[in-house]
Amino acid sequence: MSSRVAVITGGGSGIGRQTCLYFASKGDKVVIADFSEAGGNETLEMIKENGGDAIFVKTDVSKYEDVEAVIEKAVEAYGTIDIMFNNAGTGSRSPLLETKLEDYQRVIGVNQHGVAYGILAAGRKMRELGVNGVIINTASVFGYLANQSTFPYQASKGAVRMMTQSAALELAPFNIRVLAIAPGGVDTPIIQGFKDAGLTEYMKKQQMRGELIKPEAIASAVYLLSLKEADVINGSVVMLDDGYASFK
């Protein structure tokens, strides 16, 4: 059993929730960060029912003060922070020239700025505490491959790739690792809205097993990446895509 402290954003649903449950099942202390109170509290209950240790902190990752505050609360509650999983995300869908500025700003605010704030706030705290921590960011296959009608999302996920490489380089002297995951199509609420547009069916075909990936499979891979045994993985974006980006 490990006993580290992990802050997981977007922990109220999908990939984030399953990662919270998985880390807690391994003995880690989990700080669930989400702007959905209902989702965050539900994850908290699930962890407690299984005998795990967690707290929920309502957090809007698009606000630096909120991200800094959740990290402070993690340290107050558990004494340190070992893992920061910058995973909260959102999307929008419209042809490029019909994109509403508010949608562009919302998606960039959560997916790009939220990750940047997580890197800055967690990196600063880990350096202050002298922790050999790991920061894991959620990118996407859509940070590599263009897609119709998801311009803000593609832009934000492309940025996550380079922020990951850049931060890994600068935080290496503090023994802090930074890496990212690029999931393929995962069965979570974020892609439900794309069912009409056929995107989900396309994603299934694009994966080796012909089906959407279970969020539990992403969670266990994130756990493996967080371990000391995986510390040669640094600055990389690890494809968790069941082959999505490997063939056409």
Ligand X SMILES: NC(=O)c1ccc[n+]([C@@H]2O[C@H](COP(=O)([O-])OP(=O)(O)OC[C@H]3O[C@@H](n4cnc5c(N)ncnc54)[C@H](O)[C@@H]3O)[C@@H](O)[C@H]2O)c1
Binding site for ligand X (CB under 6 A): 9-10, 12-16, 34-36, 39, 59-62, 87-90, 110-111, 138, 140, 183, 185-186, 188-191
- Which token pair is 166? 């850049």
d(CA 50, CA 53): 9
What pairs with residue 76 in β-bridges?
Answer: none
Q: In angstroms, what is the minimal distance from the CB of 102 to ligand X?
A: 14
**Beta-carbon contacts of residue 17 (< 8 Å; ≥ 6 apart):** 11, 39, 42, 43, 46, 215
The least CB distance from residue 175 to ligand X, in Å, is 26
Instruction: Measure the CA angle with vertex 139, ends 220 and 103; round to 5°.
Output: 130
Residue among 139, 84, 92 nearest 117 (CA):
84
Instruction: Provide, rounded to whole angstroms, the least separation between the CB of residue 66 and ligand X.
Output: 8
Give the residue with the Cβ less far from ligand X, 95 or 189.
189
Whichever of 175 and 221 has its CB closer to ligand X, that residue is: 221
Contact 18, 188 (CB under 8 A): no
- CB-CB contact of 10 with 16 (8 Å): yes
User: Residue 90 Cβ, how far from ligand X at the closest point, in Å?
Assistant: 5
Classify 83 in phi/psi space as left (phi over 0), alpha (psi -120 to 50) or beta: beta
Pick from 74, 36, 80, 82: which is nearest to 55 by CA?
74
- Beta carbon of residue 70, minimum distance to ligand X (angstroms, whole number): 9
Q: Residue 39 or 131: which CB sits closer to ligand X?
A: 39
Q: Which of the residues 22, 117, 153, 244 is marked catalytic?
A: 153
Question: How many Å apart are CA 186 and CA 204, to the nearest integer?
Answer: 9
Beta carbon nearer to ligand X, 52 or 215? 215
In 23-175 the beta strands, taken as DSSP E runs, fall at 29-34, 54-58, 83-86, 134-138
The question of whether 153 is a catalytic residue gets the answer yes
**Nearest CB to ligand X, comparing residues 125 and 138:** 138
Catalytic positions, written as ranges: 153
